[in-house]
Every structure is written in structure tokens, then in C-alpha cells.
Chain A
Amino acid sequence: MSTPAPTADLSARFGLTAGRRRKDKFARGVILAATILALVPLVLIIYYLLKKGLGAWSSSFFTTDPTGNTFFKNSDIGGIKSAILGTIEMVALASLISIPIGVGVALWLVEYGRNSWFARVVRFFVDVLTGVPSIVFGLFIYIVLIIGTGSSFAGYKGSLALSLLMLPVVIRSAEVILNLVPAGLRESALALGAPRWKVIMKIVLPTALPGMVTGVLLAVARAAGETAPLLFTAGSPKTTTYNLSEFMNSLPVQIYNDVNSPSTEVVNRAWGAALTLVTMILILNLIARLISRRSRLA
């Protein structure tokens, strides 16, 4: 029997019926429609951002501080320099606070705490913190550091609010990546007679590093886009400052204030600032992608 002709029996068993074909087409159509529907707002956001935002961009837009002259037509409203620098400064300080602490917590959870009751408690609180609305962090800092001490807004207080916001994100993402480091690597390093802290420093961390950078940069990007924690912790001054104990402007707060203005020019400045913010976050995400491409944990 070399190649028997397919019998009627077999084609009945393996043949594709018209009904099955129709169902397949329908299901595919529904999924495709959902995808397109989700794309519509995304594409529109980018379209409006580019259309309105690019119009506001100019060289002086990035190099001058906003002015207070927002009520009179054709007056110089200035740029967003103080907002860009304020965002960079506050997010940088927030990262300096939250990344070492967050990575430390994640290391403890994965390498030492594991499934102990205290580790479970820590994980529970981290999960709760992840779900806390960002304005609550701002409120917390406002109550403790501004009302509580009777002092005024300051850049570092904004940073603290942002770092509280970043902390659970950093912990969770670092923990996920550290868990991905194969147990076999730790075991073989321990079996070589390496003390645990050296296994962590020389084997676990270098292996997890590219993946952790991705998670950390996403946390940074999230902090950079937050308005609420900064509104009543850092304020919204106009001038550029490099002193983190003074009031400090930021892109999200600038956008928030500008959008409320009756002047079209000022609203356009908000679009320009929004495009700037999105571009900055896009660059961060691209860096994260480049680094995670080099990741050895797939």
C-alpha cells in the first residue's frame, strides 16, 4: 500500500466544514475589531499631541521660563524650561531614594525572606501601595512634611512623594526579575563554596541587572508623568531653580495649570509641554528596551 486514495470516510473525519470556517472568520473578525478600536484613541492622542504640540515648540520654548503674562493677547508667555528641569531634578532625586531601597527590599524578599511570615506581610503592603492612588502619596507628604512641620512646598518634598509612588513599582518589578534568575545559578555558586552575599553580588545581581533596569526605568517614567503627588508638595513656581528646598515647577503641573487658562496660547503651551513629556518618557522607554534586549533572562 503505497499511497491510498483518501476514502470518503477519511474526508468526513478530517474535512473542514463550512460552519467551522464561518465561526473561525467571525471570531477572527471580532478580535481584529477590538484591536482596531483600541488603536483609535492611541493614534488620536499621538496625532493631536504632534499637531498641537509641535506648533508650540520653538528654541525659546525650551530655554525660557514661563512668564506670568497670560491674560493679555500677544504678550510673551515664555517657555517651559523650569518645568523640564524641575521634572528632571525631582525625578532624579526620587530615583536616588527609591531605587536602592526598592532593589534592597526585592533582594531581601527573594534571597532571604522567601516565604516567611514577615516576607508575606511585606509583599502584602507592597501590593497595597501599588494600588494606592498617586494623590494619596502627595496628601501624605503634604500632611506630614508641610502641615506637620508648618513649612512650605519644596522640590525635595515632591521628590519624596514621587519616591513613595515609585517604591512599590521598583520592588515588584525587581522581585519578578530576581525570581527569574535560575535557582541553578545560585546553587552552583553556593556549591562552589561562595558565601551567600557574594553569590548575590557577583552572580544574581549581574544576571538580573538588564531586566531590573527595564522595570526601574518604567517606574521612573511613571513618576515623571505624575501631577497629583506634586501639586501640593512642590508647588508651581515659574522660575528655574536648582535648589531642591525651594518651590519647584514640573511638566505635569505646568500642563495642569496651563490647560485651565482661558488663553489659547497658554493652552498651546500645555500641548507643547505634553509633547515634551511624552518624548522624554518615550526616550526612557527606548533605553529600557535597548537594555532589556541585552537581557540574558528570556
Chain B
Amino acid sequence: MTSTGRTEEVTDVDPDRSSELERSEPEVAGGRPEGFAGRQRLTPESTEQPPAPRPGIVKAGFSVKLEQLRAFYGDAEQVKGVDLEFRANEVTAIIGPSGCGKSTMVRCINRMHEEIPGAHAEGRVLLEGMDIYGSSVDVVAVRRAVGMVFQKPNPFPTMSIYDNVASGLRLTGRRGKDLDARVESALRGAGLWNEVSDRLTDAGAGLSGGQQQRLCIARSLAVDPEVILMDEPCSALDPVATLKIEELIEELKQRVTIVIVTHNMQQAARVADRTAFMLDGQMVEVGPTHEIFTKPKDSRTEEYVTGKFG
């Protein structure tokens, strides 16, 4: 992305919002970590304003904008030019039949797609106005800002509950003495603290499936991301555990922008502010969730949400 493009994007940002973005939020995040250099590289320079402490207002997540995003596996094009905006502090659900490119698209937002051998992406992904596919962008810094929760709960098997949550900070070289506080804050944020506070040294893999998934959410939260991508986070969970995660998503959107891929249309209807319907690598329709489910504009959307196919 060119520098002119960057300033253009920056002027789009609402001045009120951009000052909120810069503010640290000690109650929730336990203060900004020391190793903050990666994040700063992501922040457009012109939004650098002295943060005015305004208590009571929670830090906002980042907006994400996809522009003509195309994703490939080798020569096969899986995402075929998608334009889509994920608004800050909203939950956006992506629905669509299996294989339509939902997961692939979402994996482009933190550049995990390119980890698959032979895979690459084209187009632009603007994180709060900055193209994360720009040549000078540090992938590792992008991933610190854009966390991810996967379909299958996958706590690190060699680590305790505590170490799992702390792993993100340790792996990114941000230790600090407030580690205990940050682990507790992340576990509280994931609604897991009361269940595990007395057994933090137990193996993370010993928890139930739903607890493991919330542990993974806590692990993502601990590095203080701006956006969390959830790739079918409840598909391996029972209804009770699913409900807990959904309640959690509702809380988390106060802090971060959430993108959730789901096969479960009721889930999209329950948790999402906006819903996007994808088909065969293309974005068919995006809109407020209730509109997508009650009066979709596209006939294919209607057929999908009413269960005629998919």
C-alpha cells in the first residue's frame, strides 16, 4: 500500500474514534505491554494523538476492511475478490455452505492463510486503514493484533492452564512482572477464572471441551488483540458450552472487533450484529443480521437462510 493510500484511509477514521483507539485501558487489559513496538508499526501515523484519559470509555477494537481480496491454494482460487468491512466493536458473522471460502477469507485477516504451503492471497486487508499485506509490515505484529480461535479447542498439551494463557505473552517476548495479573484478567475476560482459579497449575488439556475453548479465548485475549477471528469456535462443543461462548462473545465485543465463521445460522442470528453470506468464494450479501435473516435482498441468501440448500 502506498503512503497516499494510507492517509486517505486515515481521514476516513472518525476523529472521536481514533482518539479512543490510542487509549490504554488498564481495567480490562492491565495496561499496555512494554513490547509494544509491533503494534505501533500498525498504527497510522496521523492518528497519533496524545491520549486523553476519559474513564468509563472502553478501548475500541480495530476495524477491518477487505478490498478485492482473493485467496489461492496453489492455482485454485478459493476466495474470489471479496469486498467487506468489519466494523470495530461489532460482531460480524460469516455464513455460507461448506467450502465456500469462509475460513480461508478469515485466515487472510491475520495472514495465517499463507502458512499453508502453496497458498497466497491478493488484494488488500486494511486493519484500521493500514494494509497488512504491505511489504514493510511485520507478520508477527499483525498476528499479535489479530487473534484467532480455532474450530477445535487446542490448548498447548505440554502446558498448565496458567502457562497456556501466559504462552502468548511469553512467546512474543513480553514477560513483565504483572504476568499473574494479566493471566487472571484474560481468564476473567474469557469467563473461566471462577472455574479454574484454584487449579491453575493443572494441565490445560484436562479441562472439558468448552472450558478448553474458553482457555483458548483467554490465551488470545492475554496478548491484548484488537480483533479476534473465530473459525467455527463452537462446532466441537455441546449446547451448554456453546451458550457460554456466545455470552462471552457479547461481552468481548466491548473490547475487540469479532469476526465469527459459523455453520450454525441460529448462532449467527444470536450473536452477530451484522451477517455476511458467502457463496462459492464470493460475497453475496452483507447487512444487519436481522435483515439477512428476515428480508434478504438476494434470492440465494434467502434460499440458504431458509434451509433450501447448504
Asked if B255 lies at the interface with its beta carbon under 8 angstroms from chain A, I say no
Select from chain B the residue with minimum beta-carbon distance to A114.
B117
Interface residues of B in 192-239 (CB under 8 A from A): 205, 216, 219-220, 223
Contact B172 A189 (CB under 8 A): no
Pick the contact of A185: B117, B156, B220 (CB < 8 A): B156
A192 touching B219 in the complex, CB below 8 Å, given contacts A198-B171, A199-B171: yes
Q: CA separation between A161 and B110, bound complex, in Å? A: 48
Task: List B contacts of A192 (CB < 8 A).
Answer: 143-144, 147, 167-168, 171-172, 219-220, 223
A202 touching B154 in the complex, CB below 8 Å, given contacts A192-B143, A192-B147, A192-B219: no
- Interface flags, B132-143, vs A, CB<8A=1, else 0: 000000001111
Contact A206 B158 (CB under 8 A): yes
Asked if A132 lies at the interface with its beta carbon under 8 angstroms from chain B, I say no
A188 touching B140 in the complex, CB below 8 Å, given contacts A193-B172, A207-B157: no
Q: CA separation between A256 and B152, bound complex, in Å? A: 56
B interface, over-half SS: helix
Contact A296 B205 (CB under 8 A): yes
A interface, over-half SS: helix
Task: List A contacts of B152 (CB < 8 A).
Answer: 184
Task: List A contacts of B117 (CB < 8 A).
Answer: 114-115
What are 30 sample pairs from A and B whose C-beta atoms fall under 8 A apart?
A184-B150, A184-B154, A187-B112, A188-B150, A188-B154, A189-B171, A190-B115, A190-B143, A191-B110, A191-B112, A191-B147, A191-B150, A191-B220, A192-B143, A192-B219, A192-B220, A192-B223, A193-B140, A193-B143, A193-B168, A193-B172, A193-B223, A195-B171, A203-B156, A203-B158, A203-B167, A207-B158, A296-B157, A296-B158, A297-B157
Residues on B facing A (Cβ under 8 Å): 38, 110, 112, 115, 117, 140-145, 147-148, 150, 152, 154, 156-158, 167-168, 170-172, 205, 216, 219-220, 223
